[in-house]
Amino acid sequence: MNAKPILVILGPTASGKTELAFRAARQIGGEIISADSRQIYRGMEIGTAKPPQWMLEEIRHHFIDEKEIGEPFSAGDFAEQAAERIRELRQRSITPIVAGGSTLYLEGLLKGFAELPPADPEIRARLTSELEHHGAEALYRRLEALDPEQAKTLDPTKTQRLIRSLEIIEISGEAVTTLQQKTSGPPSGIDFTVIGLDLPRELLYDRINRRTAAMMQAGLEAEARRLYDRFRDQWRSKQLNALDTVGYRELFEHFEGQHDLQTAETLIAQHTRNYAKRQLTFFRNRLNVEWVAAPLDEAGIDALVEEICRRVR
């Protein structure tokens, strides 16, 4: 008898993935594979919207609080290790549920990776020089002209991925999105069913705005200050990708005197909304997702949990 497909719950930030996965895992005695590239780091609790401690104690969440900030962990590492843990859980008759919103983590696990050309030091040095002289916006506009679909999935301020995208196009002569259609495939022996949580844009944005305010009330500024005091030199020299994250970046800039606290909070909400839009673009264009209406009340959550449990039992 073939094992049932592994259920994946994805969606934009603030769509309700965490609670839905938790309730389903609790009902079936399962464990959660967290597909979040920032929640894996210890010390980044409020800004990454980690599940509260009582949830983590009741249900095992893999890939949360497993790494120190600065410790390398890539999408490839996640895809490989997540597949291993899924197999281990199945051998113990425990049902895993994958939940998260990190686009590259999810794509790597569900589809594998494309064979992209290796870095070219000469091209990368030239692009880095262009970045320093002309700014990220000029490079982003170039990417929009060469590969608009790839540009839609990138944060223009994340210059590492921006430079890599342009480098790939120069080396291969093809759009990144064209190359990424040819992937290595999902892990052997594992099939996935992917559910995406969908809700009206205005409601999603309202949730994001309210969650940003709640994070500030919960102590995000103090959490960011502790990280800034510890890692400011590495952050300034762009050595810590983990801290180049919405919620921390804006507060670090506030600590550097670039804007006041209210502006930082406004920017966090704005940048989170932008991130949610990029997530949705990525999921719709790159992954095979069954979209369902995100539950808006307790009855809706209960009904969707029952449907999830029916599928994975």
Q: What is the pLDDT of residues 254-286, one digit of tens each?
A: 999 999 999 999 999 999 999 999 999 999 999
13 annotated to a ligand binding site: yes
281 annotated to a ligand binding site: no
The verdict on 194 and 279 lying in the same domain is yes
299 annotated to a ligand binding site: no
14 annotated to a ligand binding site: yes
The verdict on 145 and 231 lying in the same domain is no
The verdict on 148 and 90 lying in the same domain is no
Domain count, the chain: 2
Asked if residue 58 belongs to a domain, the reply is yes
Full 3-state SS string of the chain: CCCCCEEEEECCCCCCHHHHHHHHHHHHCCEEEEECCCCCECCCCCCCCCCCHHHHHHCCEECCCCECCCCCCCHHHHHHHHHHHHHHHHHCCCCEEEEECCHHHHHHHHHCCECCCCCCHHHHHHHHHHHHHHCHHHHHHHHHHHCHHHHHCCCCCCHHHHHHHHHHHHHHCCCHHHHCCCECCCCCCCCEEEEEEECCHHHHHHHHHHHHHHHHHHCHHHHHHHHHHHHHHHHHCCCCHHHCCCCCHHHHHHHCCCCCHHHHHHHHHHHHHHHHHHHHHHHHHHCCCEEEECCCCHHHHHHHHHHHHHHHC
15 annotated to a ligand binding site: yes
Asked if residue 1 belongs to a domain, the reply is no
Asked if residue 84 belongs to a domain, the reply is yes
158 annotated to a ligand binding site: no
Q: Which of 132, 158, 179 is the last residue of a domain?
A: 179
182 annotated to a ligand binding site: no
The verdict on 138 and 218 lying in the same domain is no
The verdict on 106 and 143 lying in the same domain is no
pLDDT tens-place string over residues 99-133: 999 999 999 999 998 888 888 999 999 999 999 99
Asked if residue 252 belongs to a domain, the reply is yes
29 annotated to a ligand binding site: no
The verdict on 101 and 167 lying in the same domain is no
pLDDT tens-place string over residues 230-251: 999 999 988 898 999 999 999 9
Where residue 133 sits, what CATH number does that domain have?
1.10.20.140
